[in-house]
Amino acid sequence: MFRLSSGVASASRWGLPTRPAPLLRVSASRLTLSGSSIPELSIPRTFSLPSRLLSTSTRQLEKCCAKKNAESKPESTPVPMTSRAFWASAPVWRRSSINTLRCLIGCTMGDFSALWFLQAFYPGLGMSTIMAISMASGLTTSMLFETTLLRFSRDKLPWGAAARTAAGMSFISMLTMETVQNILDYHLTGGLVDVSSPDFWVAALVSMGAGYLAPLPYNYIRLRRYGKACH
């Protein structure tokens, strides 16, 4: 219990009338001033937010979560593939182009390296065997290249997760790319790798361009319709 006695001593010193100071009683739930006309003040033990504020916050949270889920999921009502709107998504084209380019780099490194090595050191294998081995080499280097990118790029995946993600890429896309590249390369150069010939480099650029364009619509469809990318 506390007594509020401010100014009492000064009043008695000068002969002024004084009256007892009101007592301040503080309890867990009430604040009262005895000897005064101030009404009792109730102090609530708990506080509750207005229901309108709570409902507004809940709606905002649900709206935010719904937006994130919609961005990570394929369209709930698919647009027909025959419609112009289906093929008019610039972000999907950009993402598909990047994925296809990464696949092209990985496939080309293994494919042309194997072609050059086998023709230089094992020419007796025959062109059909050499090109088949080269295609398998291109698929392997594509997976290794993608695994390395997933490990050291912004994804920062562990080696195991990066390898599983690379292994889950669309083999239809990679096989299409490899097949088109090798068919054109064989048609233009006979499958011979001659780095000193300008014709070889022109044929290589043409086959790489065709290999890039061949699976691009397929990668776009997978990403647009199902939310799946080849990488």
- Split at pLDDT 50, 70, 90, the class of 130 is very high
> What residue segments make up the domains of the chain, in order of their start?
2-42, 91-226
pLDDT score recorded for residue 68: 39
Mean pLDDT of 107-126: 93
**Mean of pLDDT values over 197-212:** 95
CB 184 within 8 A of CB 207: yes
Q: How far apart are CA 185 and CA 197, in angstroms?
A: 14
Q: How far apart are CA 22 and CA 109, in angstroms?
A: 93
Contact between 221 and 87 (Cβ < 8 Å): no
Maximum alpha-carbon separation in the chain: 129
Q: What is the mean pLDDT of the chain?
A: 76
User: 164 near 199, Cβ under 8 Å?
Assistant: no
Q: Which two tokens stand for residue 24?
A: 């301040």
The Cα-based distances of 181 to 97, 186, 216 in angstroms read 17, 9, 14
Per-residue pLDDT tens for 7-41? 444 444 555 455 554 444 544 444 444 454 445 44
Question: What pLDDT sits at residue 29?
Answer: 44
Q: Where does the chain show beta strands of DSSP type E?
A: 2-3, 23-26, 30-34, 41-42
Condensed to tens digits (0 to 9), the pLDDT of residues 150-189 reads 888 887 889 998 888 787 777 888 999 999 999 999 999 9
Q: Could you read off the pLDDT of 43-102 as tens digits, one per residue?
A: 445 445 455 544 554 555 455 445 434 444 555 567 888 889 999 999 999 999 998 999
| 42 DSSP β-pair partners | 30
Q: For residue 26, give the 3-state DSSP assignment.
A: strand
Compute the average pLDDT of residues 115-134.
Answer: 93
Contacts of 25 (CB under 8 A, 6+ apart): 1, 31, 32, 33, 34
More confident residue, 108 or 13: 108
Residue 7 Ramachandran class (φ > 0 left, ψ -120 to 50 alpha, else beta)? left
pLDDT of residue 112: 93
